Structure 1
Amino acid sequence: MTDKIPTQDITPVDAGQQRKSPTTGGPQGELYAKRQHIYVKLVKGLFQKLRSTANWVLMLGFFLGSFIPYGDRQAILFDLPNRQFHIFGTTFFPHDFMLLAWLLIILAFVLFFVTNFAGRVWCGYTCPQSVWTWLYIWVEEKTEGSPNKRRKLDQQPMNSEKFLRKSAKHLIWLVIALATALAFLGYFSPIRDLLPRAVAFDLGPWEFFWVGFFTLFTYLFAGWLREQVCIYMCPYARFQAVMFDKDTLVVSYDTARGEPRGARKKSDNPADKGLGSCIDCDLCVQVCPVGIDIRNGLQYECITCAACIDACDQVMDKMEYPRGLIRYTTEEELAGRKTKILRPRLIGYFAVLIAMFVAFSVALSGRIPLELEVLRDRNQLLRVTSDGLVENSYLIRIANMDQKEHTYVLTLHGVDGVVLHSADVYTLSGGEVRQFPIQVIGDPADLPKAPAVDIEIRLQSQQDPRINSSRDSRFFIRAAR
């Protein structure tokens, strides 16, 4: 027995493009469905306020995040040319990508945990596609009017009013898309320098490309494709059912209470007419951004935005019926059984999540903000000086991954008789990366008779001895015969 919730595919079917099932010979469903444009009706309510608050917080964070100063730079800057990724007081380098991969795995388990507990709340409240789509729908209503007015406007031939309204809508859409592209690029190129150059059309080729790319796809995804992205392009919609069970909190229609549905007067008693609480107003369908009817059961297209709950609650209030005909609930509760909050899968996700978070925190706190690389001079294995000493040349690369200036002392370890023949103190400012040539010399008479010996090159901060790094290398005493 499985405890997964059955989901339904209610993608509109174009009868002219149906194909036959290879097993039954009957219609199997369309191969290519003609899109039915959705005229979304905006609705007010508790969940709309929660969603709107979350949307504005996320958008303000996105648009203003790159303007937050930190010292002499912006707080969040992904400096790709210099391979430095600044996040407030911490600078990450390419070799720290393991931490990034670890963080992405943790976020994936957060998504699994939240989905198992409360369904697709990520999609409904915080997904960028949903956030920008709701913004574009709001602009559409302000420029073209209510859903009925928008439908009539699309059906009528082009005239001055239609041209002005359509032009205003698309112009505002493009401005939002351009602002989105510039805000995104501002995390990779200093925003305070980027904006004046963008106004003066003084961007580099790659900057022009990425501004155009994100402007185009923001305009297309949020303005034109909308629910098509959620239904056909987003993989999350396809595998969400794997993480659901009968105790998962989802938006559901109470069939036992609502059926049979039908129109009636407010003064009518539904029981006398043999009706349920649903008056069949279809308002839950009109406000759905993906155009589904939640009364048909749980569907993978549902993004759990709860717009249908707000719409239905308003109708229930007008009819003086109890709220909750459409609500956040579970399959177990709808079946009259008790919902189990603590269940094995949810506990398992939580335990793994906590373990990974603790391990990640330990790894991050133990991270040494210093990188040392040692490269031998490949053009010359060794050189014998006029004093008969053997000299090896190296190139060291020092990356100060701290935000403060550090003075580092370079020392040699591993074998006696080998000393530095170059500077051994280096000062680097916060986030600076520099390369230095060094020479190591030794007297062959004091060294082993082997062709080469192992040495350790160690770098340590004078300000904080805990900040140190070392690399092993080879010191060649004599050339191989």
Structure 2
Amino acid sequence: MTEPARSTPPAPPGGGGIDHEGVADLYAEAVHWHVNTGDEVIHAKRMPGRFRRLKWLTSAVWLIFFLGPYLRWDGRQAVMFDIPRRQFHIFGATVLPQDFWLLTLTLLFFATLLAVVTNVAGRVWCGYFCFQTVWTDVFTWIEERIDGPPQARRRLEKAPWDARKIGLRLLKHTLWLAIGVLTGITFTLWFGDAPTLWRQYLTLSAHPVAWAAVGVFTFFTYLFAGRMREQVCFWLCPYARFQGIMYDRQTILPTYDFRRGEPRGRLRKGEALDGGARGDCIDCKQCVAVCPMGVDIREGQQEGCITCGLCIDACDAVMDKVGRPRGLIRYACLDEIEGRPVRPFWRRPPVWIYGTALAFALAGILYGLSSLGGIDLKVLHERQPLYVLLSDGRIQNKYTLKVLNKFPEPARLGVSVEGLPGLELAGIEGPVTAAPGRVSAFTVLVRAPRDAAPSGLSPIRFRLRRLGGGDTAERESIFAAP
């Protein structure tokens, strides 16, 4: 038994929430929480229902992980994180280290989104989208197809090792390892050309780093999803530890309606559940049997609950059989269970705070993506001297053009300048060539007639145009005159 989490469970019957007088009730309830410490294997029962269907539908999001590397765009892989060249190709955009702020905003956006969803509806990420949850669900589905339902799996665990048990174990673990290998290979495909990498894997000519990545992913996929399962959520995942501080009394979670369900008691065969002195809970423990974390939701909200809603499917099925209304376990907030007013989520201050941060991060990401070009230009004006008077009376300024070429091939660029009458470029002959994926520097001289350049500093603009491509880049600078 571990130290109980500090998230707020439902108040005991007859109470009005957790106050100073109710602290003893809180701890009295918490001591009944059961946290599996790994001394037993949880064989969760699978029951059909709306939340089970929802889990399968949301799990399909991970098809993007497996299918994404095979998408093509302009003759190359649509999404590829080219680490050796320090380039991220995302469809038509190329993100280089100079665009690191975009990655920062993206991480901020998803972290804030995780926080606001948790505050509104609990651990939705854990219950429906987390890779640990999804892969574990697939692994246990395979286990049920091979070893049978929970009772059969428990009997098989205790059975002596014979040919049948060895055969079943060998088949199951082989399939688990195959999924781990596919996961590892797919991960590496995001960092290189997918067809090329597959050819290297099949001919055993892949780079040792690629083989090492596949090995690491295979090992940990097999270990976490096949062997440790819920233990990863209990002991390794940091999100499971601090998610409780994101909850409040308005957070919607799978909740047991203790006012309706208590006092609970077993229902004998042929006995009617009339809803009189006895509560609606018949203590069938089906909500515990289907929970992949082994949580008894009737003991209040616990650190192990991943808000997947499978207990709701189980309880609704039992209520249908005994002729009582559904919803004994349902998605509800603590205020609703206690009969207090419930505010819509859009009227809650945390949602507005998180929403504002989300809006700023999203606006920055959209601006960054819309302003990303294939060519980036910076202009540095020579400081010493600011200008030079030529023998023919013209004024000359010196500049260094720093050009970032984000294309995977060299770019031929035409250079022009405007802003004052009679401006002339010198120091370069015709188009310049910028190397791919890095910054190239070019020194240029700009000359202007003496009568066309006002005294002091005047604004001018440099423009680059990619020949044969149409991409352009502009940057303002100054022209100094006596």
Residue 457 to residue 41, structure 1, CA distance change in 2 (3 Å): same
TM-score by length of 2: 0.78
Shift of 1:265: 3.6
Higher relative contact order (CA 8 A, sep 6+): 2
Question: What fraction of aligned residue pairs are identical, expressed as a percent?
Answer: 37
Are the counterparts in 2 of residues 7 and 241 from structure 1 also a CA contact under 8 Å? no
Alpha-carbon distance between aligned partners in 1 of 2:207 and 2:250, rounded to the nearest angstrom: 53
Q: Corresponding residue for 1:178?
A: 181
Which among 33, 47, 50 is matched to residue 51 of structure 2?
47
Q: CA deviation at 1:52?
A: 0.6
**1:333–1:417 Cα change, 3 Å:** closer
Residue 358 of structure 1 and its aligned partner are, at CA, apart by 2.4
Q: Which residue of 1 aligns with 2:25?
A: none
Match for residue 425 of structure 1 among 425, 431, 444: 431
Out of 137, 140, 143, the residue aligned to residue 140 of structure 1 is 143
In structure 1, what is the Cα distance between the partners aligned to 2:369 and 2:95?
A: 11
Distance 1:98 1:441, change over 3 A: closer
SS of residue in 1 equivalent to 2:53: helix
In structure 2, the residue matched to 1:346 is 351
Aligned partners of 1:227 and 1:289 also within 8 Å: yes
Aligned to 2:414: 409
Q: Does the C-alpha gap of structure 1 residues 436 and 230 become closer, same or farther in structure 2, counting only changes over 3 Å?
A: closer
How far apart are 1:233 and its partner, in Å? 1.2
Which residue is equivalent to 2:297? 294
1:277 aligns with 2:274: no
Change (3 A) 1:143 1:252: same
Distance in 2 (CA, whole Å) between partners of 1:88 and 1:303 is 35
- Rate the CA distance shift 1:52–1:30 in 2: closer, same or farther, 3 A: closer
- Determine the structure 2 residue equivalent to 1:369: 374
Change (3 A) 1:277 1:151: same
Which residue matches 2:360?
A: 355
2:92 equivalent to 1:86: no
Equivalent position of 1:327 in the other structure: 330
SS of equivalent residue, structure 1 residue 433: coil
Asked if 1:6 corresponds to 2:5, the answer is: no
Q: Aligned partners of 2:265, 2:135: CA distance in 1, in Å?
A: 36
Distance 1:197 1:308 in 2: 46
Which has the higher mean CA deviation after the structures are superposed, 235-244 or 406-415?
Answer: 406-415
The root-mean-square deviation of aligned C-alpha atoms, in Å, is 3.9
1:254 maps to which of 257, 267, 270: 257
Q: Structure 1 unaligned runs (5+)?
A: 9-26, 376-391, 447-455, 474-481
TM-score under structure 1 length normalisation: 0.78
> Shift in Å at residue 108 of structure 1?
1.2
In the alignment, the residues of structure 1 paired with residue 399 and residue 471 of structure 2 have an alpha-carbon distance, to the nearest angstrom, of 28
Structure 1 residues 471 and 199: alpha-carbon distance in aligned structure 2, compared to 1, 3 A threshold: farther
Of 223, 228, 253 in structure 2, the residue corresponding to residue 225 of structure 1 is 228
Offset at 1:345? Answer: 1.5
Q: 1:211 to 1:395 in 2, by over 3 A?
A: farther
Q: Is the 8 A contact 1:458 1:471 kept in 2?
A: yes
Query: How many equivalent residue pairs?
Result: 428
Distance (Å, rounded) in 1 between the aligned partners of 2:236 and 2:172: 25
Alpha-carbon distance, 1:212 to partner = 0.6
* Structure 1 residue 284, shift from structure 2 partner: 1.0
Secondary structure of 2:94's aligned partner: strand
Note if contact 2:37-2:231 (Cα within 8 Å) is conserved in structure 1.
Answer: no
Matches within 5 A, 1:118-197: 118-197=121-200
Distance between the aligned counterparts of 1:127 and 1:31, measured in 2? 20
Structure 1 residues 214 and 338, CA gap change in structure 2 (3 angstroms): same
Alpha carbons of structure 1 residues 64 and 442: separation in structure 2 relative to 1, 3 Å: closer
Instruction: Quote how far apart the aligned CAs of 1:352 are.
Output: 2.8
State the distance in 2 between where 1:278 and 1:73 align: 59
2:201 to 198, 218, 231: 198
Separation of aligned partners in 1, 2:378 and 2:36: 56
Q: Which residue of 1 aligns with 2:464?
A: 460
In the alignment, the residues of structure 2 paired with residue 128 and residue 336 of structure 1 have an alpha-carbon distance, to the nearest angstrom, of 37
> Which amino acid is the alignment partner of residue 399 of structure 1?
N
Structure 2 equivalent of residue 385 of structure 1? none
Q: Structure 1 pair 102/462, CA: closer, same or farther in 2 (3 Å)?
A: same
Find the aligned partners of 2:187 and 2:400 in 1 and give their Cα distance.
Answer: 41
SS at 2:145's partner residue? helix
Q: Is the 8 A contact 2:260 2:279 kept in 1?
A: yes
Q: Aligned to 2:250, what secondary structure does the other structure show?
A: coil
1:400 aligns with 2:406: yes
Report the Cα distance in structure 2 between the residues aligned to 1:169 and 1:44, rounded to whole angstroms: 23
Whether the 8 Å contact between 2:234 and 2:240 is mirrored in structure 1 is yes
2:405 aligned counterpart, secondary structure = strand
Contact 1:370 1:467 in 2 (8 A): yes
* Contact 1:113-1:350 within 8 A present in 2 as well: yes
Superposed CA deviations along residues 137-161 of structure 1, whole A, max 9, x for unmatched, are 1011111111111111111121111
* Aligned residue runs from structure 1 range 383-398, under 5 A: 398=404
Deviation at 1:86, TM superposition (A): 0.8
Find the residue that maps to 1:351 and give its secondary structure.
Answer: helix
- Give the whole-Å Cα distance in 2 for the aligned partners of 1:83 and 1:95: 10
Q: Structure 2: which 5+ runs fail to align?
A: 1-5, 11-30, 381-397, 451-459
Where 1:245 maps in the other structure, the secondary structure is coil
